[in-house]
Amino acid sequence: MLVPRMHQIAAYSLEAARPALRPRHPLRRKCFELLGYDFMVDADFNVAFLEANSNPCLELSSPFLEDLLPKLIDNVLRVAVDGPKGFPAPKAGTEKARAAAGALLEREDRFVELELRTGEEAA
C-alpha cells in the first residue's frame, strides 16, 4: 500500500503544478525531466509527502545507490525515448487529483513539527 500511495501523491503534485509546467508549450513537447520525491513513513505506515526536487542527487554514495541509480537512469531514458510502454499510468482521475492537490496546498496544518531523538532518548 505504500508505493501506490506514493504514486498517487506524485500524480496529485504533478496535476497541481500542471499550469506552471505548461506541457503543451512547443519547447516542452520534446523534453523530459527526472524529479526526486521525498516521502516519510510513520509508525502506522502513513505516507507523508515532504518535497519534490527538480534536480535530485544522483551521487553513487553507497552500494545500494550504485545498484539503483544506473537502473533508474536506464528506465528514465527508456521512457523518454520509447514512451511509457509497460509503465502503468497513475489511476487518479484528473478532477479528483486536482481537488486533492488543491486541498492539500490550502491546509494550514500541512507542516508538522518533528521531534528528533538520539538512540538513547528514543529507547
In tens, the pLDDT along 2-42 reads 888 999 999 999 888 888 877 777 777 777 888 999 999 99
Residue 25 domain-assigned (yes or no): yes
| φ/ψ of residue 66, rounded to 5 | -65, -30
Each residue's pLDDT tens digit, 83-100: 766 555 545 555 665 565
Residue 44 domain-assigned (yes or no): yes
Residue 121 domain-assigned (yes or no): no
Residue 41 domain-assigned (yes or no): yes
Which cell numbers in the block locate residue 53? 526536487
Total of domains in the chain: 1
Residue 42 domain-assigned (yes or no): yes
Model confidence, pTM = 0.61
Residue 47 domain-assigned (yes or no): yes
Query: Whole-angstrom Cα distance, residue 113 to residue 48?
Result: 13
**Number of helices and strands in the chain (H, E):** 4, 2
Range(s) of the domain holding residue 21 = 2-111
Residue 122 domain-assigned (yes or no): no
